[in-house]
Amino acid sequence: MATQARDIPSIDTLSRTVSNSFDLSSSPTATFNSPPSSFGGLRRVSTKQLKPFATQDIKVLLLENVNQTGQAILRAQGYQVEFLKASLPEDKLIEKIRDVHVIGIRSKTKLTARVLREAKTLIVIGCFCIGTNQVDLKYAAQNGIAVFNSPFSNSRSVAELVISEIIALARQICDRSMELHKGTWNKVSNGCWEVRGKTLGIVGYGHIGNQLSVLAEAMGMSVIYYDVVNLMSMGTARQVPTLGDLLKGADFVTLHVPELPETENLIGAAELEQMKTGSYLINASRGSVVDIPALVNAMRKGKLAGAALDVYPNEPAGNGDYFTNDLNSWAEDLRSLKNLILTPHIGGSTEEAQSAIGVEVADALVRYVNEGATLGAVNMPEVNLRSLTMDEPNHVRVIFIHRNVPGVLRKVNEVLGDHNVDKQMTDSRGEVAYLMADISNVAESEIKDLWQNLEDLSS
């Protein structure tokens, strides 16, 4: 009689088996279906669908209004999905996270070491956004918790927002609109420009910078860019050797860099002073990249003709009247400036981007939970094996996360030595190592002993 896939349960320390599974099924219909893998195309009909536990026991917590596409993919696996529209304060988050296996968040939820320490059953985190700075990645990795994100899905949405802001700033559209909303007709051309023939300077020439470069050239702009590595340009864009060269040569400067110690206050008083008088600054990357008081001062002096900000050092946890001096001491000074576009971190907030992010991250979570694949993980070695097939009965997939120290692999292989190791792959990232192995000729009665022997290696 066919039975569903079973697992070697997870271990709570760094040495832990995360997505081990056992399947005696001889029929593809005896287990649930997984979505097609984006790695290697559609799965063959004979692929064996693995799962670490009975599917109804996988508990998923989704916060911050994760898109419906992601929810649907996770529910289709039979997981128990709890969905909340907002983020949670730390104490409430700790209560919620204690018995979940998977958590999905966006940018507001902070998964600190204190929170993760209470997440005794957590095996994976999905960041349904680009950034992962809201997660303690080192602590997660040290405790065998993989983290996935969506680094590219909202690139087009951010690029289009920046293009719209370039035009709006050049024409002072937001000021004219606000004036007319108040009943004031103020038809002026002074200080209003076409963007054709102007120079756009892109700081950070990644996926967003690439798309922005193409769109800007299509409008007749010249494009220069600065990046810490040498990158091939799109179209006729030109890389410049230093940030200073870019600031001096651009009419519009737009920032697309990650949040790192090296990028904190990347644009401060000295950098603003290097920019052309009457130029414009746009930041849709991270709030720590621009020194806001220095920006306020530069605009009040007339050094800059305008600016657009979509991100801030401190952002509210939810919607409401929170963008005040209580949140950031300079908020009211910032709000008082002319030709300044302020948006509430909406660069990737389009239906298309959120849908694509939902699919990308949810698929990664399913692959990790069901198969142990770490491709795309931001804090784990990237390891994957081809899928088991229905022609491989009595197979177990073993996932073992451990400290990267001598002797561990020898001990693991001693545990597995009574079985044939059909496939095995291991890789390390810093102090964390990740092993994946498919072993055959495993009797159902041997599963518990295998798990216990692997668990004993971490004690």
List 315, 403, 429, 446, catalytic entry: 315
Q: Are 213 and 190 within 8 A, CB to CB?
A: no
Residue with tokens 């795309």: 376
179: left (phi over 0), alpha (psi -120 to 50) or beta: alpha
Amino acid at residue number 190? N
Q: Which residues contact 162 (CB under 8 A, 6 or more apart)?
A: 208, 212, 254, 282, 284, 308
List 16, 106, 156, 345, catalytic entry: 345
| Closest to 125 in 3D by CA, of 94, 106, 146 | 146
Cα separation, 97 vs 303, whole angstroms: 49
Residue 160 designated active-site: no
The alpha carbon of 168 is separated from its chain's Cα centroid by a whole number of angstroms, namely 29
Cα separation, 319 vs 349, whole angstroms: 14
Residue 286 designated active-site: yes
Residue 101 designated active-site: no
For 317, what's the count of Cα atoms within 13 Å in the CB-facing half-sphere?
10
Distances (CA, A) of 169 to 94, 201, 385, 442: 44, 15, 51, 66
Instruction: Give the pLDDT of residue 391.
Output: 76
List 16, 106, 176, 286, catalytic entry: 286
Q: How many helices (H) and strands (E) does the chain have?
A: 14, 16
| pLDDT tens sequence for the chain (459 residues) | 343 433 433 333 444 443 333 332 222 222 223 333 333 344 443 666 666 644 458 999 999 999 999 999 999 999 999 999 999 999 999 999 999 999 999 988 999 999 999 999 999 999 999 889 899 999 999 999 999 999 989 999 999 999 999 999 999 999 999 999 999 999 999 999 999 999 999 999 999 999 999 999 999 999 999 999 999 999 999 999 999 999 999 999 999 999 999 999 999 999 999 999 999 999 999 999 999 999 999 999 999 999 999 999 999 878 899 999 999 999 999 999 999 999 999 999 999 999 999 999 999 999 999 999 999 999 999 999 988 777 777 888 888 999 999 999 999 989 988 888 999 999 999 999 999 999 988 887 787 788 888 888 876
